[in-house]
Amino acid sequence: MKRSKRYGFSTVFVSLAILAIISAPASAVEKWPTAERWPHNPKAKYGGNLIFGGNSHPTTLNPNLQNEPGCNDVAGSVYSKLVVIDFGVTSGVQPYGDLARKIEVSEEGKIYTFHLFENVKFHDGKPLTSADVKYTYEEIIKNKFPAYGYFLRFVDKIETPDAYTVRLVLKEPNGAFLSQMAMAALWYASILPKHLYEGTDWKTNPYNEKPIGSGPYKFKEWVKGSHVTLVRNEEWFRGRPYLDSIALRIIPDKVAGYNAFRAGEIHELRGLNHLPSYAEIPVLNKTAGLRLSHIASPYDRCIYFNLKKEPWNNIKVREAIAYAINREEVSKLGFFGTYPPLYYVGAFHMGDYLDKNLKFPSFDSKKAEQLLDEAGFGRKADGWRFKADFYNSPYADDTAVAEVVTEQLKKIGIDINRVQLDLGTWLGKVTKLEHDMTVYWVNYGADPASYADHFRAGGARNFMGYNNSRVNELLDKAVRFFDPEKRKPYYYDVQKILLEEKPWIPILNAQYFNAAWEDWKGFNWEPEGFGNAFSWFGYAAVWWEKGQPATPPATTTVTTPATTKTAIPAAPTFPTELIGGVVLVIVIAAIAAYVVTKRKKPT
């Protein structure tokens, strides 16, 4: 009897050891950036004052109100979100945790529970709790601010079982919810301090101009028309940030901005928005002491039509535009071949979610003229068919597209008046559907659910007035599944309808170029910073090579996040969880060996 018990005991330990070996890889997959690993860049140094350039004057520093890149440039380092996502395709695009240290998803995909870090403080010293998350989200829902269209429209109710747990109960199961939530956090969904905003009008709250967040950098000053300066947050819950300060220098004129960068007055040129011409890319690439990054993008560059206006509500006119655009010429003349032509109803990175049998027509000016004649817009005595305003923002790639396409459309008899607007004015006009046509982009995202942001009625970026009940239905049904094979047919049907109706015309698959001087490292557009920025606009991982080595302050030990139903992989990091699993296996195996040895000895 004793021998039997000993044998059974050792068998259990061996079984546990095997189980630990089997389960260890799963634990490694479910890793997120946590306070335990921050900062863990052995090369990084402390100190330095980074200056980056922007070409848009912010009107507010509250990113939840509207889409405003000038605001996002600052807000990305001031505020925290539940989950975030970094920009990029070649490095992989996956959500990861910011305030959330652990997430649980119910088996049916309808209840999402977020466990918050418990050592988070706002910049005024007040603790950040589940009450702040609930308050922020409920105000966005009530006012239908932009994040509502991304992910909060799916939420039925928000529960806070305790001070550090947030439970989002959805109206329907949703397999894309976390991706859409993280995508929204690129611009919106920043957690605001309830004690400073409750009972106020968000649009006029004075803290919109002197923000109090919980991110790695704190607000110092905003000199309107000049710059916004942030200083490091010594009490950031992940540890001391590397830089002493970061500053957004606002230079609307792209030539002046480019010259300031070349002179070293600006340290980073994100997105090359101050680039006078894409012919400068080879020049930048050969400049000593400067590095240039090129990342594939999940965005297109396209034309949005205002479907609420004539003649853009005429499908033949939209089809004519599709035939009139010579994508290869736009790529060559506007981008020196760096942006590839795009004929698909989606971007190249979408993989199996993209139906490659569906394509927009190739350039055919005769067909374009024929369609305009059939639509009742023949050439008049002066040679023109009709007039149209064509808007573009000051972004370098928007301008390049607009310049070439304007000339192409003039050749088929459309009297184009190209209007370049400052970012705020442009955004205001397209949001209110005051445009005829505009250069814009569709973000095909980390998840194809992003189609809804642009093509679903009420979508945050549906600046076309597009509303197709069948498309709305397909997009709503597609997100109810976690299995890509079940979701794919819905997106194929959406792509088919969009190709038939052409509410927009994709032209190029955008690319993301960035430049920085060599002594500044860790930007989120390069491997060292990707997955550590906590925002597309974040600078949490950036450091200065001329700074001082230092031992970072101790950080709070936290539990490695895990999920049920679906795991959210983080950006690459050494799987420290796996070390613990291996140690556990060794200990268990040693105990098992000892028990077996003891069993073999005579009693």
Q: Give the position of tokens 């923000």.
A: 211
Superfamily of domain 298-511: Dipeptide-binding Protein; Domain 3 (3.10.105.10)
| pLDDT on residue 18 | 24
Average pLDDT of the residues in 69-96: 82
- Consecutive H or E run containing 583: helix 576-600
Number of Cβ within 10 Å of residue 569's Cβ equals 15
Lowest mean pLDDT, pick from 95-99, 165-169, 451-455, 515-519: 95-99
35-271+518-544 is a CATH 3.30.70.270 domain: no
Report helix, strand and coil shares of the chain as percent, to nearest 5.
35, 20, 45
Which of 11-20, 147-156, 359-368, 555-564 has the highest mean predicted lDDT (pLDDT)?
Answer: 359-368
Cα distance between residue 253 and residue 74, in whole Å? 19
| pLDDT on residue 574 | 27
Query: Could you tell me the residue ranges of all domains in the chain?
Result: 2-31+575-600, 35-271+518-544, 298-511
Lowest mean pLDDT, pick from 22-31, 80-89, 561-570: 22-31
| pLDDT on residue 456 | 95
Number of Cβ within 10 Å of residue 221's Cβ equals 12
pLDDT band at 98 (very low <50, low <70, confident <90, very high): very high
| pLDDT on residue 11 | 27
Structure tokens at 291: 């590095």
Q: Give the position of tokens 């982009």.
A: 441
| pLDDT on residue 552 | 54
pLDDT band at 602 (very low <50, low <70, confident <90, very high): very low
**Sign of dihedral through CA atoms 204, 160, 571, 518?**
positive
Q: Are 83 and 100 in contact (CB under 8 A)?
A: yes
- Same fold? 35-271+518-544, 298-511: no
Q: 519-573 pLDDT, tens per residue?
A: 999 998 888 887 788 888 899 999 999 999 866 544 433 333 334 443 333 333 3
Structure tokens at 481: 């599944």
| pLDDT on residue 89 | 56
Q: Is the pLDDT of residue 581 over 60?
A: no
Lowest mean pLDDT, pick from 28-42, 251-265, 341-355: 28-42
Residue ranges of alpha helices (H) inside 56-171 are 69-78, 130-143, 146-150
Nearest to 562 by CA among 102, 178, 137: 102
| pLDDT on residue 526 | 85
Cα distance between residue 267 and residue 273, in whole Å? 14
Q: Are 216 and 233 in contact (CB under 8 A)?
A: yes
Q: 347-384 pLDDT, tens per residue?
A: 988 989 999 999 999 999 999 999 999 999 999 999 99
Cα distance between residue 572 and residue 587, in whole Å? 28
Q: Is residue 508 classed as helix, strand or coil in its secondary structure? A: strand
Residue 92 vs residue 423, higher pLDDT: 423
User: What does the chain come to in residues?
Assistant: 603
Provide φ and ψ at 300, rounded to 5°.
Answer: -105, 175
Cα distance between residue 113 and residue 383, in whole Å? 63
| pLDDT on residue 30 | 33
